[in-house]
Amino acid sequence: MIAPLYPFSILYDGITRSRNQLYDRGWLSAVGSDRMLISVGNLSVGGTGKTPMVEYLLRLLLPHYSLATLSRGYGRSTKGFRLAGPNDSALSLGDEPYQYYRKWEGTLPVAVGENRVLAIEYLLKERPKLEVIVLDDAFQHRRLRPDFNILLTTYQQPFWRDYLLPAGRLRESRKGAKRAQALVITKCPEILPGAEQQLLAQEARKYLDKDVPVFFSTIAYEPALPLSLLATKEPPKAGAPALLLTGLAKPKPLEDWVSSHYKLVGHQQYGDHHQFTKANLEKLQQVYYSHAGTGAIIITSEKDAARLVQPHLNPLLQELPLYYIPIRQRFLEKDSEVFDLMILKSVAEKLRRDS
């Protein structure tokens, strides 16, 4: 498919490259802030693990600073700036912001806004004592000038082996990696030999500024948690028949994990950020009933769970033994110590400099 679509990728490259050059040369101005702005993003379309990375940063920084998270709010029904509140859902916020809100309600502000520059102004009016704002998926939002750009790419499809849309999955040229202050290669195997790490880092550094660190991380799956009344508080027994329900960009890793812990008997799969409907759950219910005598359970991702918790879906939801799998980003070996120190040092220096 790459060859027939390559001419369109050249056209796409011309458009995105021209825009980036306008900012790189100062012909278009980017806006910074006297607060610490940490951006988490990628060069490709979805599935690189931005949500676990944002949550990792929130856990790291929350004990030390007053912070918030700001997302575009992809797939939401609302427009403009919105500060998450008790009446919100994945429909009004988007699935990732609502997931953050469910975890940190009352602890840190969660906001959404397409125009990140304007959204930061509104956010600071609402929360003037904020010190740090973690930006979810802002790498291509060039009007904003973050203090620290964290670029993510997956072990399975690193950006330097990918191609621009529509021939590949890149949203901009590989050269965009020059804007990163750190690169995290995500979704690595739990054991990755040092020689392979060195090779990957060597390939990546062809596109990075000198001395930009390269880190390696994997996805850590946590025990299943109940999402419905029919789901027991205890995690389901290993080897139980399981139906999988997903609306993810790349569901294969979760499918592999479920297959290794349970007996996967079906996978009802939808596109990324899919807003589930009653018809979707009715279809799931029919499949479940065909396995009900076997003690089957239903498993979904944590991000999908945020979109399933809707008033109009709740009656159907409660009739199913539905669990979700929380995930966390885990750095390989001693990378977490180096990464944590780098982030905390950068925040301290920025706030000291601008105080």
User: Domain locations in the chain?
Assistant: 2-65+131-220+331-354, 223-325
Rounded Cα gap, residues 82 and 90, in angstroms: 13
Share of the chain above pLDDT 90, in %: 83
Whole-Å CA distances, 215 to 68, 69, 257? 24, 23, 23
Rounded Cα gap, residues 234 and 224, in angstroms: 8
Main-chain dihedrals φ then ψ at residue 12, nearest 5 degrees? -60, -40
Q: Which residues pair with 31 in a beta bridge?
A: 144
Two tokens at 73?
Answer: 């709010």
Rounded Cα gap, residues 302 and 324, in angstroms: 5
When pLDDT is cut at 50, 70 and 90, the band that residue 3 belongs to is low
Q: Which pLDDT score, from 0 to 100, does residue 6 have?
A: 67
User: Tens digit of pLDDT for each residue in 136-159?
Assistant: 999 999 999 999 999 999 999 999
- 111 neighbors 94 (Cβ within 8 angstroms): no
Give, in words, the CATH class of 223-325.
Answer: alpha beta
Average pLDDT on 203-209 reads 96
If we measure between CA atoms, which residue out of 24, 300, 13, 59 comes closest to residue 162?
13
pTM over 0.85: yes
Q: Which pLDDT score, from 0 to 100, does residue 2 have?
A: 63
Lowest mean pLDDT among 7-11, 118-122, 170-174: 7-11
296 membership: H or E segment, kind and range: none
Helix axes 95-104, 50-61, angle to 10 degrees: 30
User: Tens digit of pLDDT for each residue in 260-297?
Assistant: 999 999 999 999 989 999 999 999 999 999 998 899 99
User: Tens digit of pLDDT for each residue in 23-61?
Assistant: 888 898 899 999 999 999 999 988 899 999 999 999 999
Q: Which pLDDT score, from 0 to 100, does residue 12 have?
A: 72
User: Tens digit of pLDDT for each residue in 150-205?
Assistant: 999 999 999 999 999 988 999 999 999 999 999 999 999 999 999 999 999 999 99
Q: Which pLDDT score, from 0 to 100, does residue 176 have?
A: 96
Q: Which pLDDT score, from 0 to 100, does residue 144 have?
A: 95
Domains 2-65+131-220+331-354 and 223-325 share a fold: yes
Rounded Cα gap, residues 189 and 254, in angstroms: 13
Average pLDDT on 5-28 reads 82
Whole-Å CA distances, 321 to 215, 281, 324? 38, 12, 10
Two tokens at 238?
Answer: 């290993």
**What is the fold of 2-65+131-220+331-354?**
Rossmann fold (3.40.50)
Q: Which pLDDT score, from 0 to 100, does residue 174 have?
A: 96
